[in-house]
Every structure is written in structure tokens, then in C-alpha cells.
């Protein structure tokens, strides 16, 4: 079911990963961010980059996070692209936010896709 609320749920799956309660395949970590492999990859490279703070969406994050947290998340995305070897071949980032985007996990995450031609930007028909 898609996420509809900006109220942070401490029991969401990424909160559990951050607390070390469930494992992940870590790609990168710093003081403010964690990046790990998506459990159901949709491309040869499919890594998730998340802030360690409790933010539901990008709007929530940019409203409440410190400049240091925001800079760290953006830099972590590039770091992941470098680590996964897709900076020169090309990659796509995506962050779903609430219902229309079909966001499933209510902790802000940036998908990093790459490793093959990724096709059209959206797979659904235009309205």
C-alpha cells in the first residue's frame, strides 16, 4: 500500500535496517547517510541512499533536515554512483513521495539505477 502520511513510522523497514535489526548489503555509509542494495533490484545497479534521520519524504527532509544532512545525502548519491561504476556510463536517481508516486517505504530513499540502458523515464502512459 502506498504511503499517505508524513508522520514518521519508527517500525518501517529502513528504520529497522538503520537500527541494525535487519541486515542489508551496505554500499556506503557516513555520519548522515547509509546506502545499501535494493532487495528486489530493477536494474544491474539498484542501490538505495537514505538519510539516517527520521524523514518520510523529500519535502519532509528539506523542511526539517540540517544543511549538513542535505549536503551529505546529495554527495552520497554521487559517491554511490562512483562506487557502482556508473558515473561515466550514466545512471538515474528517483525518489518516490507519497501516494501518486506509489512510495512503499515511509523513510526517504533515493534509488540509484544503472548498468544498462534504462529506457523511457516513466513506464506509465501519459495522461
Asked if residue 39 binds ligand 5GP (CB under 6 A), the reply is yes
Taking CB under 6 A as the binding criterion, the range among 35-43, 49-57, 80-88, 118-126 that sits at the site for ligand 5GP is 35-43
**Would residue 109 show up in a list of annotated catalytic residues for this protein?**
yes
Per-residue cell: 124: 506509465
Please pick, from the candidates 58, 105, 115, 118, the single residue that binds ligand 5GP as defined by CB under 6 A: 105
User: Which CB atom, from 67 or from 121, has the smaller least distance to ligand 5GP?
Assistant: 121
Please pick, from the candidates 40, 100, 117, 119, the single residue that binds ligand 5GP as defined by CB under 6 A: 40
User: In a 10 Å sphere around its CB, with 0-12 CB exposed, 13-18 middle and 19+ buried, how is residue 115 labelled?
Assistant: middle
Calpha distance 19→52 (Å, rounded): 10
Instruction: State the catalytic residues.
Output: 109
Using CB under 6 A, list all residues that contact ligand 5GP. Answer: 13, 24, 36-40, 96, 102-105
Amino acid at each position: 500500500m502506498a504511503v499517505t502520511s508524513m508522520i514518521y513510522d519508527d517500525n518501517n523497514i529502513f528504520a529497522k535496517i538503520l537500527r541494525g535489526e535487519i541486515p542489508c548489503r551496505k554500499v556506503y555509509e557516513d555520519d548522515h547517510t547509509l546506502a545499501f542494495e535494493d532487495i528486489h533490484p530493477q536494474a544491474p545497479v539498484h542501490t538505495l541512499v537514505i538519510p539516517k534521520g527520521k524523514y518520510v519524504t523529500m519535502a519532509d527532509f528539506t523542511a526539517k533536515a540540517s544543511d549538513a544532512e542535505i549536503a551529505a545525502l546529495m554527495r552520497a548519491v554521487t559517491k554511490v554512483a562512483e562506487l557502482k561504476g556508473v558515473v561515466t556510463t550514466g545512471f538515474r536517481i528517483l525518489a518516490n513521495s507519497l501516494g501518486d508516486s506509489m512510495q512503499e517505504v515511509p523513510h526517504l530513499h533515493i534509488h540509484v539505477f544503472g548498468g544498462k540502458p534504462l529506457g523511457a523515464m516513466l513506464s506509465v502512459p501519459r495522461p
